[in-house]
Structure 1
Amino acid sequence: MGDNLAAGKKHFWNKKPKKELTVDDITIVDRKMLRRAVGAAALGNAMEWFDFGVYSYLAVTIGKIFFPGASQAAQLIATFGAFSAAFLVRPIGGLFFGPLGDRIGRQKVLAITMIMMAIGTFCIGLIPSYASIGILAPILLLTARLVQGFSTGGEYGGAATFIAEYSTDKRRGFMGSWLEFGTLGGYLLGAGLVTGMTAAMSTETLMSWGWRVPFFIAAPLGLFGLYVRLKLEETPAFQKHMEEQDKREHEKPPIGVWQMLRKYQAQMLKCIGLVLLFNVSNYMLTSYMPSYLTGILGMSELSGLLLVLVVMFVMMPLTLFWGHWNDHLGRRPVIALGAIGLLIFALPCFWLIGTGNLLWVFVGLMMLGIIHTCFSGTMPSALPSLFATDVRYSALAIGFNISVSLFGGTTPLMTAWLVEKSGNVMMPAWYLMGAAVIGLITVFFMRESARKPLHGSAPAVASEAEAESLIKKIKLRRQQKNH
């Protein structure tokens, strides 16, 4: 362990300065269980983003099926309106699943959200078209999206918490980055499937029944994800927290939601600011760009789909790259680097995209994707570190989903509306720059969490030898401080 890690233990060990430290006071992470936990959490996120990839890449088709008669721009806005509506109920899902995860455990709640997401996605494929049942069709589409949004309210915060609490302090950034690796993998699977179908099917076949196929695939994916999550054990940090809570049950009752919001007000604002930066960039690239390229710039659907697909593929290893390096460089510098990158390059990127030349469009998209990996590789470890173990799931689920609902998920709708009203195709770039400014302000007030224990939790290491080495370093520091 480095000096940063030892320094990061102060808030934990200073609570009991007279206690002689032992290996039992330190969490030794089971590597096999850690790999299973990371895989199960990433799989659920992949399931969520499989749906996003399918919905985003089929946005133009869905608009024609559920909102016929409107102009192409109006269809796009209506489709993204249904997309954004799901985000309005995400905070409600966070309020429901977050406290539940802090009360009954992370693993149980993540199993529930997994199956709910699969059901909501599967049901979209069952909805008849507007031509068959009229106005009831978009209403049912909205209902299915609301089910998805409610369940997703407990998904990301729980998955990030699950991985963070299972990881060692030295590698929490890298292990957390696998969550976003799953995000990109799920998106690629959904988007790649739609791209292949678009190339293989005629427009009539795709409009008739082909568009339903990707949504039906959610059922077996969801069942597999549920099976994997049910096989997991609860996180070590949560198990220790519950043991301590049982001992002091009559002395100190669990903190309520409103008490938590008041106590962690500053951290909640930081969470909202970071998530705003992360998700405006995310949804701009993954959800809005495919439709921007085809609906606004007039590129062929297949060309637009393939370009974004290739960018997503390149982003996957880069996300793990930044996951590794934020454990060494720190979370703050990496996030700040991405925010500064957006400020400098957002306008040039959209100028390149606006040329319509395939090469320059690809370069512009790739630059945006590379910048975004600074966030995708870092946020899954930075966000859980803001909150203590007893409220981590609740606070992260609520803060994350408030920010996503207000700023992230509405990004496709807002940018489509701004472009339509202003006639300025550069509006998405200005939107990204605004998010970058807010992100930089938030990073300034953040505390560094790399290579440090989670707030309120014991240090976590990979072996007993590492734990003994850490104890010796802490004892040595105490002796040096006393003299």
Structure 2
Amino acid sequence: MTQASYVAPMPRKQQRAQRRSLGASTAGQVLEWYEWSAYAVFAPFIAQVMFNPDNPVSALLSTLAVFAVGFIVRPLGGIVFGQIADRKGRKFVLITTMMSMAIASVLIGLLPTYETVGVWASVMLLLLRVVQGFAHGGESAAANSYVAEIAPPHRRGQWGSVVFIAIFGGSVLAYSVGGVITFNAEDSFVLEWGWRIPFWLGAVLAVVALYMRLGMAESATFEEVTRDEITADEVAAQTEPEPEVAAAVARKSPVKSILLIIAMVSGVTCAHYTWTSYVSTYAIVEQGMDANSAYWVTVVAQIVALAALPLWGRFSDRIGRKPVLYTFAIAMALGQFPLMGLISDQPWTLLVASMAALLIVGAAGALLSCVMSEVFPTAQRTRNIGLAYSLSVAVFGGFAPYLNQLFNSVGMQWMSNAYVVVLCVVTLIAVKLLPETRGVDLNAVR
């Protein structure tokens, strides 16, 4: 890999087009993550109306299990849509996946309850979350590739942080909607209609985001590599490659890089979903905190962490990716037990613990887009990210809320904390084995 030593000035018109494309991509990602996070935010209410209410603990575990199943199909979506994105372009996939998420969101808001149709309510909810998970896997893969490819090389960490800003932004929006609904409505209304509102709202806002995405420019990096591949194919059709060249190509395998990215992401995604998708449920169900207070405290903590993301990205542009990733892994491994132990039924405890944890998570989250894109070659970037990132998030992130609640329900909270710590150590080892990629020429990655 060669480091970019000189950055040629870009025409202002192209700069404006890139910024518009960045804004359109981010707006769509925020909406998709909002629709995805709304399910976790309203999990305590969904559990009561979409599953058998006779056993509340089992119903909540079933709700979180459906949340996890949505993640299981993400790798498949990442592979399928990643293959499409590497052939037809990033923009095409970003539009397709957003439409799929929006349609499924509307249908979730229209589902009959367990009381009305019995177990079929649970089955239909599961199927729609599978559709969303499939689309979400493709969205994440394409977005991570697209943003990194349109970013200036010396600002790739800062620009890449917007992918995680969208994740936090969607979660903040979901928790804000949750806070407004639970503050202004009785629990009976939330159980009957209130939990449906976020899904309908997300579908309406998706129309605006879709309009913005239709005006996005395709990644110039993708288009350049596509042209090069067409030229190379024309040459190859007329000449036989040298044996040494053929052998060198055969030796190129992304398996090692994929495994290292899976390991690197494992601690980040586990900590992220523990401190965004689960911690409010823990505060409400296990510590007896008021639901409205828990939602708003979580919103504040996530906004603070969101504001720090571009700073983490910019910091990595200056000192390198690995030192920032080391900071996350070590700080999270040391802080998980005391931070989770701080939470009681008092909202301020959730605020302090969540704010500290999410600031740490943000250090690594801000860098995922740039690091993954700098590791994989352009022609295979989206499909490899789709496989590695989605698989890691599915296994280690999607199941984090379920495992947390399972361990807590049997009085073994220490196990849920230990799970986070162990995966942060795995992340630390993976970062050690990965190369430093700051400023690399994406077209030179092999």
Distance in 1 between residues matched to 2:287 and 2:250, nearest whole Å:
46
Give SS of 2:271's match.
helix
In the superposition, the TM-score normalised over structure 1's length comes to 0.85
Distance 1:147 1:361 in 2: 33
Preserved CA contact (<8 Å) 2:70 2:129 = yes
Mapped partners of 2:73, 2:163: distance in 1:
23
Distance 1:133 1:262 in 2: 53
Which letter maps to 1:376? G
* Partner Cα distance (1:282, 1:261) in 2: 36
**C-alpha displacement at 1:73, in angstroms?**
2.2
Partner residue of 1:400?
389
Q: Deviations over 1:16-75 (max 9, x none)?
A: xxxxx998xx98792112212221221222122212331112100000001133433222
CA contact (8 A) 1:101 1:109 kept: yes
Offset at residue 393 of structure 1 (A): 0.8
Residue 321 of structure 2, aligned match among 331, 339, 344: 331
Q: Distance in 2 between matches of 1:424 and 1:407?
A: 19
Matched position secondary structure for 1:69: coil
Q: Secondary structure at the match of 1:229?
A: helix
Aligned-pair CA distance for 1:228: 1.4
Query: Does the CA contact (< 8 Å) of 2:7 and 2:153 recur in 1?
Result: no
| Distance (whole Å) between structure 1 residues aligned to residue 266 and residue 324 of structure 2 | 16
8 Å CA contact 1:260–1:391 kept in 2: the answer is no
Q: Which amino acid counterpart does residue 330 of structure 1 have in structure 2?
A: G
**8 Å contact kept, 1:351–1:426:** no
Q: Which residue identity is paired with 1:286?
A: T
From the superposition, tell whether residues 442 and 402 of structure 1 become closer, same or farther in structure 2 (CA, over 3 Å).
Answer: same
Give the 3-state SS of the residue equivalent to 1:437 in structure 2: helix
Give the greater-gyration-radius structure (CA).
Answer: 1
Report % sequence identity.
28
- Any conservation in 1 of the 2:374–2:440 contact (CA below 8 Å)? no
Please give the residue correspondences for 1:73-472 in structure 2 after superposition, counting only pairs within 5 Å.
73-251=57-235, 263-353=253-343, 355-421=344-410, 423-456=411-444
Partner in structure 2 of residue 467 of structure 1: none
* Residue 37 (structure 2) pairs with residue 53 (structure 1): yes
Partner residue in 2 for 1:471: none
TM-score, with length taken from structure 2: 0.92
Post-superposition offset of 1:266: 0.9
C-alpha RMSD of matched pairs (Å):
2.3
Distance in 1, matches of 2:7 and 2:121, equals 63
Residues 1:8 and 2:3 are matched in the alignment: yes
Once the two structures are superposed, residues 398-420 of structure 1 have per-residue CA deviations (whole angstroms, 9 ceiling, x without a partner) of: 11111111111111112211222
Kept in 1: contact 2:106–2:199 (CA 8 A): yes
2: distance between equivalents of 1:440 and 1:292? 27
Find the counterpart in structure 1 of residue 242 from structure 2. Answer: none
Contact 2:34 2:174 in 1 (8 A): yes
Conserved? CA contact 1:37–1:162, under 8 Å: no
User: Which amino acid in 1 is paired with 2:362?
Assistant: T
Contact 2:150 2:219 in 1 (8 A): yes
Query: Contact 2:51–2:62 (CA<8 Å) still a contact in 1?
Result: yes
Gaps of 5+ in 1: 11-20, 254-258, 459-483
Deviations 1:105-154 (A, max 9, x none): 11111111111111111110010111111111011100110110110111
CA distance in 1, matches of 2:251, 2:400: 26
Query: Displacement, 1:424?
Result: 2.3
Change (3 A) 1:454 1:139: same
Helix, strand or coil: the match of 1:68? coil
Identify which range, 435-444 or 175-184, moves more after superposition: 175-184
Cα distance in structure 1, aligned partners of 2:7 and 2:333: 48
1:66 aligned to 2:50? Answer: yes
Q: Does the CA contact (< 8 Å) of 1:170 and 1:452 recur in 2?
A: no
Query: Structure 2: how far apart are the matches of 1:118 and 1:214?
Result: 12
Change (3 A) 1:167 1:392: same
**Contact 2:333-2:424 at 8 Å conserved across structures:** yes
Q: 1:383 to 1:70 in 2, by over 3 A?
A: farther
How far did residue 457 of structure 1 move? 6.3
The CA distance in 1 between the partners of 2:250 and 2:58, in whole Å, is 42
Contact 1:415-1:428 at 8 Å conserved across structures: yes
Q: Distance in 2 between the 1:77 and 1:22 partners?
A: 52
Contact 2:374 2:445 in 1 (8 A): no
> Does the aligned pair in 1 maintain the 2:261–2:389 contact within 8 Å?
yes
CA contact (8 A) 2:107 2:128 kept: yes
Once the two structures are TM-superposed, the CA of residue 262 in structure 1 deviates from its matched residue by 7.5
